[in-house]
Amino acid sequence: MTDDLRIRPVREDDLVEFFVHQLDPTASWMAAFGAEDPTDRRAFAAHWVRILTGGENLARTVTVDGAVVGHVLAFPVGETIEVSYWIDPACWGRGYATRALAALLREVTRRPLFARTATDNAGSLTVLRRCGFVVRETGRGYAPGRGHEIDEYVLELPASPGTDPR
């Protein structure tokens, strides 16, 4: 791949792009666990304030050749750390999510890490598996992006030698 994919700290002006990305109905459906109303700017802003001010959150903007194409996150859920990502649907199928998540995993050394995806989101499941995550269980969870409970996979990136087990 010749694209110059990088991750960097989120800047305020990136949020404009993130908001536009979440407006895509197909992307919102596939993400499932995104915003209940993707057009609600206040809810979007409040969500990102929580992300950017949460002391244990790690938020990175994904750029390709300098253009914002998405974001990757690591954040606490109870005693564990979960990861998530969102790539502009206009950029799907180019390996950006896999490469961005792999870059985030080099920054986040704590293991195990966890992720969730809707069971019908084959693309996301592929990204996670390519980055070393394995399905640990199937559950049900409320998906705001779909307005009802759905089946989801809970995946784990297990600890390996040399990783921080905290």
From first to last of its 166 residues, what are the pLDDT tens digits of the chain? 568 999 999 999 999 999 999 998 888 888 888 888 899 999 999 999 999 998 899 999 999 999 999 999 999 999 999 999 999 999 999 999 999 999 999 999 999 999 999 999 999 999 999 999 999 999 998 998 898 999 999 999 998 755 555 5
- Is residue 165 in some structural domain? no
Give the pLDDT score at 36. 86
Rounded distance between C-alpha atoms, residue 45 and residue 109, angstroms: 29
Which ranges constitute the DSSP H helices of the chain? 14-22, 25-31, 41-53, 96-107, 122-130
Give the pLDDT score at 54. 86
- Is residue 166 in some structural domain? no
- Is residue 112 in some structural domain? yes
Rounded distance between C-alpha atoms, residue 147 and residue 15, angstroms: 24
Question: Rounded to 5, what percent of the chain is helix, strand, coil?
Answer: 30, 35, 35
- Is residue 138 in some structural domain? yes
- Residue 12's domain spans which residues? 5-157
| Count of domains forming the chain | 1
- Is residue 54 in some structural domain? yes
Query: DSSP secondary-structure letter at 145?
Result: T
- Is residue 162 in some structural domain? no
Give the pLDDT score at 79. 93
Give the pLDDT score at 163. 52
3-state secondary structure of 126: helix
Q: Is 138 exposed, middle or buried (0-12, 13-18, 19+ CB in 10 A)?
A: exposed
Q: To which residue do tokens 């693309």 refer?
A: 123
Give the pLDDT score at 162. 53
What CATH number does residue 96 fall under?
3.40.630.30
Give the pLDDT score at 32. 83
> The whole model's pTM is what?
0.90
3-state secondary structure of 87: strand
- Is residue 163 in some structural domain? no
Give the pLDDT score at 33. 83
Give the pLDDT score at 30. 85
